[in-house]
Structure 1
């Protein structure tokens, strides 16, 4: 991004003060959540994953062992510098800086999408716009994993509100199967699977 948004400035400042502000590397909560996320993946292997809000790349690293390629996106250049350093030995990972929804990569069809602890940082309109972008390059039969904190977020949206809005937006745009895989004490984990693309979605009259 040529110009830093207020949100980008906020997160760069946060990571400059503490490169691991949520304890991704040390917190028992984060370790258990990552384990649950990996166990929730319906397939053993994916061709291309997109992880939104990848932060310093801890979950990205775990996902990289299950994916041929993975694109991690984050708004903070400070976090991405650390993610790149941490994952220098994982050539199948590419990190990109950008702000959602506009930064969502649309050049390749992805069969795994991971949105962990990111949706509630977006506005309702941004979530709708993100759903539009995701539908454009999400493979039929592909999976989308959502993880959302259930405690107070200090954002306009709470975790369940953001998850429910995103799921509703996706249902309005394409056929999906939704499985609420786990509701832990402090987070919920949802898995969506995209159904076969219909003729209407392809712009074909039946």
Structure 2
């Protein structure tokens, strides 16, 4: 593996609570020509199933895991799925793989996902953690942080925190949420999906 160009492949982990906009963001990312050759590992879990449009548009680049929470019940399968991607690359069934995006369920603590990528002896040679992106809903973000420790964990481990739905709430509430997120994770880059400068 070490002599083959393209390794290690960057892996981004996308977290965010229910309704924060992960599916919308994935749709935008997969339509971006700059993100060609990206594999998206999604977790179809109850009501958080990725929409059919996304599956149809990028059926070759999407690997759907079986039902269950990505970070617990299918943790072993995530490792298997990543190992299968490496195998497909090495045998030529996939021509090129530029990056992998792993989407967790809304209720997921991202730490076990990160551990399964970074602590697996074979995967650590093939993949490198590129970062954790946490989506936070501007309308419900404060209540979500109050009511769910997993949401706090998602924000705490993120490299980038993306605020969504800020156009649907008061500016003072958005500022309070920004301040709170900065307190939870002072080193994370805070982005606003509705800010034209964010792109």
Name the TM-score, length of structure 1 as normaliser: 0.40
> Whose strand fraction is larger, Structure 1's or Structure 2's?
1
Higher relative contact order (CA 8 A, sep 6+): 2
Name the TM-score, length of structure 2 as normaliser: 0.41
